[in-house]
Amino acid sequence: MRTRDAGKEEIVKQKAIQMIVSQGIEGFGMNKLAKECGISVATLYIYYADKDDLIKKIGTQIGRNYFEAMIKAFSNDMPFAEGLRKQWDIRISFWETNKMEVACWEVLQNSTYGEYINQGMVDLRAIIVAFYEQAIERKDLVPISPEVFRSIAFGPLFSLLKHHAIGKKLDGTHFTLTSNVIDEAFNLVLKALTP
């Protein structure tokens, strides 16, 4: 039986992520992946049972990395403005350092794998919901539904990150996410969410 090579396995994961982003799930296959990695298809099956196993493991790992980043230096009992800004900063940092993984996560979220890979995000959702509920109890946050809270609290950030990824404003001119833009958007979100 052939042994696992951690270096080769990492190459396989990175190539798979790149291929899922560039070709989508429909264009992704084990034969293509093996060719991209310069290995035999049999080698892939040392690491993964099949294509579904590979995609689920990659999606779950990206989700786990995201979850660990989101809770680092964050507590659900933080003052609302401080905690929300911490979440924005963490999300921006994660996006900046993991662009390809974030793009892969988005592809997987909008596929039949979305529900499976989201199972690992239950803890993060619970932490954010507790943060939201405690902020309402302290009257730091206007009482709104969790769905509206998430849309207003993070929707503008996600939109700005997408513009940054594309590198263009709505009018087609160049766009880069700057600290001034982040502050402007965050202050408007805070104004909308606080009494």
pLDDT, tens only, 26-49 = 989 999 999 999 999 998 998 899
Q: How far is CA 83 from CA 72, 128, 141, 146, in A?
A: 12, 10, 12, 16
7 phi, psi to nearest 5 deg = -65, -45
Q: What is the pTM of this model?
A: 0.85
Mean of the per-residue pLDDT values of the chain: 91
pLDDT for 16 equals 96
**Model confidence over 108-153: pLDDT tens digits?**
999 999 989 888 676 778 888 899 999 999 999 999 999 999 999 9
Q: Which of 1-10, 67-76, 80-89 is the most confident on average? A: 80-89
pLDDT at 67 over 80: yes
Going by C-alpha positions, the residue among 2, 86, 79, 10 that lies closest to residue 45 is: 2
